């Protein structure tokens, strides 16, 4: 426990935070912006492959800090902080597949690698090192496209129906109806239809009600200690 708290405190070099962003995973200075990229560790069979993707995600976010906005105050704080946030999705699935200790090994190795990259590439670009570099955001539509839950969220159920809204003139509408999927008009939004996709997750899936509040809190704390030097967005249900 003491080791985890020490790890959190020693990474707290960010003294001028005004407020967090709406989801709570990034503390921001006045006029500062979020700059996040997303990783999918369950798509990697090896740690080495995960590190290769971390490099690409880091470079993308770091290069975005070079792009000016229309606001001088925002530009000034971005240039000073170079804050980025490499996030992960499918963390709960990763935890179930690998166990906490192996997850910690991946996160801790990945975080140290991000620091090495930032030291090298900040010098190469001639800009300051990023004040903070990693986070865990809740995720939204993008993780669903990859087939995982956002952030550290556990699935609600092994079996459920995913609804997707689309324009009623989309060519996908006829294709889905021909394939036997349920498609119906949206009751609220004109010109929109709702398509229903039945989902069945693997038998090994642990759903939200199977995981205790304390286990979720332990997972949250480990992510904050070994991966995120910004904050972690997490909803702990019980």
The residues carrying an active-site annotation are 23, 25
Helix spans in 65-201 (H): 72-81, 91-98, 100-125, 141-146, 171-178
How many residues are present in the chain?
A: 238
Q: Which DSSP symbol is given to 229?
A: S
Dmax (CA) of the chain:
59
Indicate the DSSP class of residue 14: -
Question: What residues have CB less than 8 Å from 133, skipping those under 6 apart?
Answer: 58, 83, 84, 85, 86, 111, 114, 115, 118, 229, 230
Number of Cβ within 10 Å of residue 109's Cβ equals 16
Identify which of 178, 177, 208, 216 has the alpha carbon closest to the alpha carbon of residue 193: 177
């Amino acid at each position: 426990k003491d080791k985890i708290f020490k790890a959190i405190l020693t990474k707290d070099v960010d003294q001028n935070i005004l407020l967090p962003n709406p989801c709570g995973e990034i503390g921001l200075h006045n006029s500062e912006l979020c700059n996040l990229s997303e990783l999918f560790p369950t798509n990697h069979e090896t740690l080495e492959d995960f590190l290769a993707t971390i490099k690409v995600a880091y470079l993308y976010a770091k290069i975005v800090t070079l792009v000016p906005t229309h606001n001088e105050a925002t530009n000034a704080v971005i240039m000073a902080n170079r804050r980025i946030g490499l996030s992960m999705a499918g963390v709960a699935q990763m935890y179930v597949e690998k166990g906490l200790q192996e997850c910690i090994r991946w996160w801790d190795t990945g975080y140290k690698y991000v620091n090495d990259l930032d030291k090298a590439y900040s010098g190469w670009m001639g800009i300051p090192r990023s004040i903070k570099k990693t986070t865990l955001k809740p995720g939204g539509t993008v993780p669903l496209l990859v087939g995982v839950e956002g952030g550290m969220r556990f699935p609600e159920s092994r079996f459920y129906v995913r609804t997707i809204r689309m324009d009623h003139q989309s060519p996908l509408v006829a294709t889905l109806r021909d394939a036997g999927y349920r498609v119906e008009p949206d009751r609220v939004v004109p010109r929109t239809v709702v398509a229903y996709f039945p989902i069945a997750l693997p038998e090994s899936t642990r759903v939200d009600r199977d995981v205790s509040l304390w286990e979720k809190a332990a997972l949250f704390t480990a992510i904050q200690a070994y991966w995120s030097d910004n904050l972690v967005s997490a909803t702990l249900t019980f």
